[in-house]
Chain A
Amino acid sequence: MSLLSIENVWKSYGEVQILERLKLKVDEGEFVSMVGASGCGKTTLLKMILGSETPTRGQILLNNQPIAAEPDEQRGIVFQKYSVFPHLSVLQNVMIADEFSAARFLGRTFGKKKRAIKDKAMTFIQAVGLSHAVDKYPHQLSGGMQQRLAIAQALMKSPKILLLDEPFGALDPGIRKDMHQLIRKVWKENKLTIFMVTHDIQEGFELGSRLWVFDKVRQDLQAPHAYGACVTYDIQLQNQSTQQVSEIIAKKYTKEVINI
């Protein structure tokens, strides 16, 4: 039984068809990278899995249940930016995740409960390598550190699915490499199922166990919005050799994607 199944999902905004005929199944523990030209709908699919957008046709099932139509604790997210609360310190930013559920009215905890949450938060802060900055505020952190914090926040809820929306797009190449290591570690250790949207096709290959390439297969030059994109390549990246082969395919393909 697959964790998430996308059953014939179509999405359009008015006249503009974004996605069509998406039929995909994802098992627990997969790491799906989504690549494609900008505007091809990969972020739209991510938002539909997140629940902040709903499919025009078809449905998305999580454990055979229709997925909730609003964001909730089952799905964690890390955006490219604005993922952390600017008015809270690093520690508070991570603690708030559990305080939301522990104190339904105040959203704050005290005494023993607070210590327990703090200990849990500290382990995740340590896991993402921010223990030296627990009392800092987000504006005092670099872009990479902010993303680490956002990941730690998301891990607090042990979500079934972690969604990454171009999480490393605004980072320097060197820091990006560190973040790749971190996310791989987090994925393995927490047995997460990850969906990641990226512009960087190389990143898509390096990370992840599966790659989805989004593209339009049907084109109408007179009506460019009449048809939507679908997943044209669905590549398993389990071992080194397939990875290399598909990387060659992708390099050829990248040019096409960029030329659009």
Chain B
Amino acid sequence: MKKLVNIEPNRSLKVFLAIIPFVIMLLIYWSASNERLAANPYDKLLPSFSQISAAIDRLAFTEDKRSGEYLFWVDSAASLYRIGLGVAISATMGLILGVLSGLLPTFRAGFSPLITIISLIPPMAVLPILFITFGLGELAKVMLIIIGTAPVIIRDIQNQVRQLPTEIMVKAQTLGASTWLLATRVVLPQIMPRLITAVRLSLGTAWLFLIAAEAIAAQEGLGYRIFLVRRYMSMDVILPYVMWITALAFAMDFSLRKLSELCFPWYHQQEAAK
């Protein structure tokens, strides 16, 4: 018998072990829900699977009587637009400012202390300021996502640039690279896969701030809907929405990873070999 630390499960066992916890969770939910509903058919806390699918059908595949819209898709589109825009702006800022301050000591001297302080401001604390300055529209919500994620990405990219070996920078200069070409031909392509990693790690934070902003002031959005139906204890709506948000978050993370592997195979092979 091998030692436990040396036992590596094979592929099918790995898949099986991965699925098992989800199945167990579903079973526990199913039996608990059945039990509660048997005691009280009007119980709202643990809706049955048929109640949940009815709620999904009502929101996703039936026109809303008042607005004539399919609420589930309207919510999804609104939330994805906000988080997409917010994260895209954060990533762009992170790339430009992070590379500038990682590469140029003079820029770093003026910029680095500022961004360190800014990144320590709790974004939720400035939400009222955002609502006051930018109103209750889209801008305030996107701004909250940017404030929550950009400083982290900027600082991460700055560190990543500084961790590129000095040898590489010196070598490029001996081959005749100017500061501009050093940034565009040497640093930028090497930092892009690391930027994608930084963005992936900040997605959780971005969702957090998106839901928070939508909960406080919005007319549509996944977070808005959850907090709206909370008043009626509509667990049959909240549960599928939470699962949908999780699925969207997973899809974004997964596609970013695939994009990175597709565009920067040298980086992933190099990391895998480490």
Residues of A within 8 A of B (CB): 50, 52, 70-73, 75-77, 79, 81-87, 96-97, 99-101, 104-105, 107-108, 137-140, 150, 153-154, 156-157, 159
Contacts and interface: CB of A to CB of B under 8 A. Distances in A.
Contacts of B180: 105
A101 B266 CA distance: 26
Contact of A77 (B165, B174, B185, B273): B174
B40 interface: no
A83 B176 contact: no
B173 A87 contact: no
A100 B176 contact: yes
B77 interface: no
B80 interface: no
B171 A86 contact: no
B175 A104 contact: no
Contacts of A99: 185
A169 to B, nearest CB: 13
A153 B171 contact: yes
Contact of B174 (A72, A87, A104): A72
B170 A77 contact: yes
Contacts of B269: 137, 139-140
A73 B174 contact: yes
A77 B173 CA distance: 10
B29 interface: no
A72 B167 contact: no
Nearest to A140: B269
Given A100-B185, A107-B181, A107-B184, A85 B176 contact: no
Name, among B175, B176, B181, B269, the residue most crowded by chain A CB atoms within 10 Å (CB to CB): B175
Interface of B: 165, 167-168, 170-178, 180-181, 184-186, 189-190, 264, 266-267, 269-270, 273
Contacts of A105: 180
Given A82-B165, A86-B267, 12 more contacts: A50-B170, A71-B173, A76-B174, A79-B171, A81-B165, A86-B266, A96-B185, A97-B175, A139-B266, A153-B171, A153-B175, A157-B176
Nearest to A80: B167
A72 B170 contact: no
Given A100-B176, A104-B181, A83 B270 contact: no
Given A81-B167, A86-B190, A100 B177 contact: yes
22 contacts: A72-B174, A73-B175, A73-B176, A76-B174, A76-B175, A77-B170, A77-B171, A79-B167, A79-B170, A79-B171, A82-B168, A84-B171, A85-B171, A87-B190, A87-B264, A100-B172, A105-B180, A107-B184, A138-B266, A139-B269, A140-B269, A153-B171
Nearest to B270: A139
A196 to B, nearest CB: 16
Name, among A72, A87, A140, the residue most crowded by chain B CB atoms within 10 Å (CB to CB): A87
A104 B171 contact: no
Contact of B173 (A72, A96, A137): A72
B103 to A, nearest CB: 14
Nearest to A150: B171
A57 B67 CA distance: 81
For the complex of A and B, list the 9 residue pairs with the smallest distance between their C-beta atoms, beginning with the closest. A82-B165, A82-B167, A71-B173, A107-B185, A97-B175, A100-B176, A139-B270, A79-B167, A107-B181
A207 to B, nearest CB: 21
Contact of B168 (A70, A76, A85): A85
Name, among B168, B173, B189, B270, the residue most crowded by chain A CB atoms within 10 Å (CB to CB): B173
Contacts of A50: 170, 174
Contacts of A154: 174-175
Contacts of A75: 174
Contacts of A138: 266
B176 A101 contact: yes
Nearest to A77: B174
Nearest to A94: B175
A77 B181 CA distance: 19
A83 B171 CA distance: 6
A154 B174 CA distance: 8
B176 A97 contact: yes
Nearest to A165: B167
B178 A83 contact: no
Name, among B171, B178, B270, the residue most crowded by chain A CB atoms within 10 Å (CB to CB): B171
Nearest to B178: A104
A150 B252 CA distance: 39
Name, among A85, A101, A108, A157, the residue most crowded by chain B CB atoms within 10 Å (CB to CB): A85
B170 A52 contact: yes
A156 B175 contact: yes
A157 B173 CA distance: 11
A147 to B, nearest CB: 12
A77 B177 CA distance: 14
Contact of A86 (B170, B172, B175, B270): B270
Contacts of A159: 174
